């Protein structure tokens, strides 16, 4: 029942968040192709749980900081500009950083 679409979910405002997640997937794809050249996936499995927890918390803090920093400014009343700067760009940048350079650094 929660995911059932209704007649009230039509138009540009209702589709912003639904389509913004596509930018997360695209950023994740570019980030993974960037980081998998230098990072071995088995290293994460063999790492101590304390280091995993520290890396995860640092990644969450980085993600929240990037997302809040990008969406902090007021971009006016134009719906497309608001969507681009408050949904598409943060989703792309945050996912690229977390799946790309962040994995190489940590």
Q: Tens of pLDDT along 62-82?
A: 888 887 887 777 777 777 787
CA-CA distances (angstroms) from residue 10 to 13, 17, 91, 95? 8, 13, 22, 27
**pLDDT range class, residue 1, cuts 50, 70, 90:** very low
The model's pTM: 0.67
All structural domains of the chain with their residue ranges: 13-105
- pLDDT greater at residue 99 or residue 5: 99
Q: Using an 8 Å Cβ cutoff, are 105 and 35 in contact?
A: no
Mean pLDDT over each residue of the chain, to the nearest integer: 77
The candidate with the shortest Cα–Cα distance to 54, out of 102, 99, 19, 3, is 102
**What is the pLDDT at residue 69?**
83
Q: Tens of pLDDT along 77-100?
A: 777 787 788 778 888 888 888 888
């Amino acid at each position: 029942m929660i995911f059932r679409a209704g007649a009230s979910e039509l138009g540009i405002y209702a589709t912003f968040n639904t389509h913004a997640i596509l930018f997360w997937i695209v950023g994740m794809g570019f980030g993974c192709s960037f980081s998998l050249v230098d990072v071995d996936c088995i290293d994460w499995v063999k790492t101590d749980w304390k280091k995993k927890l520290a890396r995860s918390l640092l990644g969450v803090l980085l993600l929240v900081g990037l997302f809040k920093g990008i969406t902090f400014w007021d971009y006016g009343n134009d719906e497309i500009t608001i969507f681009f700067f408050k949904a598409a760009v943060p989703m792309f940048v945050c996912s690229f950083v977390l799946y790309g350079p962040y994995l190489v650094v940590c």
